[in-house]
Amino acid sequence: MSGIDSFAGLSSDELNAHWMPFTGNRHFKAAPRLFVSAEGMHYATADGRSVLDGFSGLWCSNAGHGRKEIADAVAQQLANLDYSPAFQFGHPLSFKLAKRLADMTPGDLNRVFFCNSGSEAADTALKIARAYWRAKGRPEKIRLVGRAQGYHGVNFGGISVGGMVGNRKTFGPALDVDHLPHTLLPENRFSRGLPEHGGAAMAERLLDVIELQGAENIAAVMVEPFAGSAGVILPPKGYLQRLHELCDQHDILLIFDEVITGFGRTGSAFAAEEFGVLPDLLTTAKGISNGAIPMGAVFAREGIYDAFMRGPEHIPELAHGYTYSAHPVACAAAMATLDIYEQEKLFDRVKELAPKFEAALHGLKDCPHVIDIRNYGLAAAIQLQPRDGEPGKRAMEAVLEAYNRGVLLRWTGDTIAVAPPFIIEPAQIEQIAQTLKDILQTTT
Ligand SMILES: Cc1ncc(COP(=O)(O)O)c(C=O)c1O
């Protein structure tokens, strides 16, 4: 492309300058999809259209867009204390936020380590798990176990434990990790909510890994309570409970990655509470600050934190952290976000809307190409039969057409994912379902 204006006042040189993440750059830059503002449930595009947000941005704007309370809190914090060194010094808001968050988590997941993203949260949790066993005098417990189709961000720990091979294989050897099979079973197709079949048996595949590697060498198992990025893959009933039991029996830490499921997506604050399973470590990001300012947080059970609190008191107990851990502006955004969740009872709203959402999305069952529909809370996935020789293209085309028709969704492989902000109105749920229905009728 040459240097002439090509779109929305952007020159082709400007378009080319930004190497976009997880994006077909050439495809995007040939016809950019640009948002210029957002309010409530809608984005405004650079070409002057309104687009209903059916994906909470990217699983993160749970309270909708343009929340003045968050903007005001951020502005005030920036004016008052723009930055405070993260190591060896602090600021009061991070402690208040940590306590408030700890009060929201189940059990004694009461110690909070702040970071800036889901990827950082994943690698932080994996490092804590290994360091924990070392602190307990069992340094041989270092192996990590993930799950096929799992997504734990893009840093080296996360891509190792993660099971989306496309995110890993380009980058050469990562950590040597074992993977459980995913829980997408044909007999559970078109389940509404948690699938019935195979829960305990799928969890018991951990016994194969234990037999292969020895529990004495395994530090932790990391899973998403339900896999989001790979297309809302739900745990069959009893799966997480059995996984927890096995981890407990074999002294293996259980890590839940709640970057997507945390902060209300299931109708409870955390999936750990919703599914009644208490992990040892729990990672979050996204909805913690409504996506307005980057933030992540890892929750550890008290016993894990306590294991580190020994040795000379002036020496950092965990040699880990980020310049922007507990950034004051992110803390302010998170505080304001939690206020909104609480005052507007948004997690209860997810529970109220979930049956309507489920019925609307499962109404697409008989549309052409649909081979599975999965849902929980305000998350759903419609899986399409891949087009011969063009995997991923059918869902991509459907999502791009939805965008043209004013609805933002996401595709991953041949799956269309839906995860709207919790402020969505029932009529807007219908709009999403109807738009998809119309598109699928004509999709080739
Ligand atoms: C379960 C899970 N973990 C980790 C991440 C990575 O988060 P981030 O993109 O903030 O690094 C994501 C992002 O979608 C996620 O869904």
Per-residue model confidence as pLDDT tens digits over 257-289: 999 999 999 999 999 999 999 999 999 999 999
The pLDDT tens digits for 97-123 are 999 999 999 999 999 999 999 999 999
For residue 58, which atom of ligand 1 is closest to its CA?
A: 14
- Find the 375 Cα to ligand 1 centroid distance in Å: 19
Integer distance in angstroms from the first to the last C-alpha of the chain?
31
Classified by CATH at the fold level, domain 33-63+345-442 comes out as Aspartate Aminotransferase, domain 1 (3.90.1150)
- Find the 119 Cα to ligand 1 centroid distance in Å: 6
The pLDDT tens digits for 399-434 are 999 999 999 999 999 999 999 999 999 999 999 999
pLDDT the model gives residue 4: 42
Q: Tokens representing 337?
A: 């976000």
pTM, rounded to two decimals:
0.97
Tell me the Ramachandran region of residue 5: left when phi exceeds 0, alpha when psi lies from -120 to 50, beta otherwise. Answer: beta
Instruction: Examine the pLDDT at 1 and tell me if it is beyond 70.
Output: no
- Find the 155 Cα to ligand 1 centroid distance in Å: 10
Rounded CA-CA distance 360/367 in Å is: 13
The pLDDT tens digits for 20-49 are 999 999 999 999 999 999 999 999 999 999
- Find the 404 Cα to ligand 1 centroid distance in Å: 27
Classified by CATH at the fold level, domain 71-343 comes out as Aspartate Aminotransferase; domain 2 (3.40.640)
**Angle 254-260-266 (CA atoms, 0-180°, nearest 5)?**
90
The pLDDT tens digits for 348-369 are 999 999 999 999 999 999 999 9
Among residues 352, 370, 350, 369, the alpha carbon closest in space to that of 361 is found at 370
What's the burial of 166, exposed, middle or buried (CB within 10 Å: 0-12/13-18/19+)? exposed
Percent of the chain residues past pLDDT 70, beyond the cut: 99
For residue 229, which atom of ligand 1 is closest to its CA?
A: 16
Among residues 172, 183, 117, the alpha carbon closest in space to that of 147 is found at 183
**DSSP, res 390:** B
Q: Where are the domains of the chain?
A: 33-63+345-442, 71-343
Are 409 and 420 within 8 A, CB to CB? no
Give, for 52, the enclosing helix (H) or strand (E). strand 50-53
Contacts of 9 (CB under 8 A, 6+ apart): none
Rounded CA-CA distance 416/18 in Å is: 26
**Which residue's alpha carbon is nearest to atom 14 within ligand 1?**
229
**Which residue's alpha carbon is nearest to atom 8 within ligand 1?**
118
Q: What is the mean pLDDT of residues 317-333?
A: 98
For residue 283, which atom of ligand 1 is closest to its CA?
A: 3
Ligand 1 mutation pick, 222, 260, 412, max ligand atoms within 8 A of CB: 260
How far, in Å, are 126, 213, 419 from residue 140 at the CA level? 15, 11, 41
Q: Tokens representing 320?
A: 């880990």
Encoded amino acid at 30, one letter: A
For residue 117, which atom of ligand 1 is closest to its CA?
A: 10
Average pLDDT, the chain: 96
Among residues 390, 362, 365, 394, the alpha carbon closest in space to that of 375 is found at 362
To which residue do tokens 């229905």 refer? 437
Lining residues, ligand 1, CB within 6 Å: 59, 117-119, 122, 151-153, 224, 228-229, 257, 259-260, 285
For residue 258, which atom of ligand 1 is closest to its CA?
A: 1
Q: Tokens representing 372?
A: 């599975």
